[in-house]
Chains A and B, each alone.
Chain A
Amino acid sequence: MTSATVKGFTNEFAKMRQLGVVPVGSALLLGVLGLTMIAALGDPSFAEPRTRSWLPMLGGMSMGVALMSPLMLAVLASRQVDIEHQGQGWLLSATSGLTPGQVCRAKLVALGAVVAMITIATNVIILGVGLALGVPAPPPVGHWLAAVSGALLVSLVLLALHVVLAAKVENQLVGLGIGVLGTLFAAFASGLPTWLAHLAPWGYYALTRAAEYQGESVVLLLPSWPSLLGLAVVGGVVFALVTGRLDRQEV
């Protein structure tokens, strides 16, 4: 990274102070926590301390991430990018040495760091709640980490999508509308056949579920890494191409 890109990255954090990232991020965190607890308390085995297990909590966490993230990521990206349209920020950055493509990449890295921190905080709290409730078995650390990293990967791809969308289309209705439709798709994706879930990035949340009900009992799942890797490669290449084109366009 050159010093200009480092500067661009720290600038994005300065911009966040006025953009309500804290309330939106807290909403994401609390929403996932709330849905996790609803799922856990809705499981009859959770009422009795001796039969309590991590699995309903993990399943609830995956569901919460899939339901909350699509819209909240769209909101975070839209706000972070819209100020450049509103305040002629593209031109200002370009004249001070940062092309629009570099600005977009800085925004993705900065927002990605925020989303990663929210993800870590959410899961640490869930772990704490589980320990405080005295879940007898040790937490399934391997499955947990795998599911969380998989879901984070999907979130980062969605974030990249929304950053370029908000940059290319000035009307923020488009990005937010896609976020709403993405929420619908993510909500249904876990019930769809796997090949259908592969058709849009929101469906990939369904491939990262940590646990699901099979009949009466909950079983642990591992993310399907080849699909996620494919999504990451496609998302990364498209983001690189679009931001590369932004670099060569006149502002």
Chain B
Amino acid sequence: MNALLAELIKLKRSLSWPVVVLLPLALVVSAVVNTLVSGQPLEDGWATLWLRSLVFGGLFPLALGVGTLASLVWRVEHRGNNWNVLMSGPTPTWRIVVAKGIVVAGLSAAMQVLLHLAVLVMGEVLGLPGGMPVAYLGISALIMIACVPLAVLQSGLSMVLRSFAAPIAVALVGSGISIMLLMAGLDAALVSPYGLFSRTTQLGTGTFLDDGSTSAIDVVMILSLSVGLTAGLLAATTWFINRRDTHA
């Protein structure tokens, strides 16, 4: 618990907040600008706006955002003498790993909340017919859960790689490869946190891998994969850092 409290204190002056706010806004605004200049209306109202913001974001920009957040959260530990202080303190490694993972996942969840709100506000401003479908609340919640393994993976990468930029490059490549494999019909690529996250952002939209109907099986699969991947990645990160050290 103390490790988590320490992380929350570090967040107070963190540069993470601009990322959390700016990325969702950029996604929704670019979806709307794109719609306006292309001259194609939002033919399906809320569904089209959701699709152009969320599903596009889920292809790679949101994964880059999570990667950036993880790099920011770990950057301070790689500066000056902080790494030695962190590793030589009395806090067990797994607590540090879990605390950092919770913080990155929490920031990512905040990003999703803002994205949801931005779509809602933008839809109301554009005067889309009817209210925003209630089912989107559930999908947003699932996206936040599916984002946890991604956050833990990026947190682990940013812990091991001292560079700020390298883990973000991994996120772009990882997202690209996962989507390619999933599109090629290889469902096993869902064990990649990038693939799982992309797949979840497409729920209910009928695009890419989604057939438009969200079944209980999909939900159970996403939940169980999220839990399993999170546990596995946390264990792997802890195991790694207990035996190895970071390098540039």
Where the two chains meet, the residues of A that have a C-beta atom closer than 8 Å to any C-beta of B are: 18, 20, 23-24, 27, 30-31, 34, 38, 68, 71-72, 74-75, 78-79, 82, 171-173, 176-177, 180-181, 183-185, 188, 191-193, 196
Contacts and interface: CB of A to CB of B under 8 A. Distances in A.
A173 B164 contact: yes
Q: 9 nearest interchain CB pairs?
A: A75-B165, A172-B164, A78-B165, A75-B169, A27-B173, A180-B64, A188-B34, A79-B165, A191-B38
B137 interface: no
Contacts of A176: 68, 71, 164-165, 168
B30 A78 contact: no
Contact of B30 (A172, A188, A193): A188
Interface stretch (B20-28, B108-116, B118-126, B215-223): B20-28
A34 B183 CA distance: 13
Given A75-B166, A75-B169, A79-B166, 19 more contacts: A20-B163, A24-B166, A30-B173, A34-B180, A71-B64, A72-B172, A78-B164, A82-B163, A82-B165, A171-B15, A172-B165, A173-B19, A173-B68, A176-B68, A176-B168, A177-B68, A180-B64, A184-B27, A191-B38
A75 B38 CA distance: 31
A78 B167 CA distance: 13
Contacts of B135: none
Interface in B122-168: 163-166, 168
Contacts of A79: 163, 165-166
Given A34-B176, A188-B30, A27 B169 contact: yes
A34 B19 CA distance: 29
B72 interface: yes
Contacts of A23: 169
Contact of B26 (A24, A34, A173, A184): A184
A23 B161 CA distance: 13
A247 B34 CA distance: 42
18 contacts: A34-B180, A68-B172, A72-B169, A75-B169, A78-B164, A78-B165, A79-B163, A172-B165, A176-B71, A176-B164, A176-B168, A177-B68, A180-B65, A181-B26, A184-B26, A184-B61, A191-B38, A192-B34
Interface string B2-20: 0000000000000100110
Given A31-B173, A180-B65, A184-B30, A18 B248 contact: yes
A177 B19 CA distance: 8
A172 B18 CA distance: 14
A68 B175 CA distance: 12
B1 interface: no
Contacts of A172: 164-165
Contacts, number: 79
A205 B163 CA distance: 28
A180 B165 CA distance: 11
Contacts of B85: none
Interface residues of B, number: 30
Nearest to A20: B166
Interface string B163-206: 11110110011001000100000000000000000000000000
Nearest to B180: A34
A214 to B, nearest CB: 15
A27 B171 CA distance: 11
A72 B172 CA distance: 9
Contacts of B60: 183
B26 A38 contact: no
Contacts of B23: 180
Nearest to B34: A188
A181 B168 CA distance: 13
Given A31-B176, A183-B61, A74 B34 contact: no
Which of A24, A171, A172, A184 gathers most chain B CB within 10 Å? A184
B150 to A, nearest CB: 16
Contacts of B172: 27, 31, 68, 71-72
Contacts of B248: 18
B165 A74 contact: yes
A195 B51 CA distance: 26
A23 B166 CA distance: 9
Contacts of A183: 60-61, 64
Nearest to B60: A183
B167 to A, nearest CB: 10
B169 A71 contact: yes
A24 B167 CA distance: 11
Interface in B208-248: 248
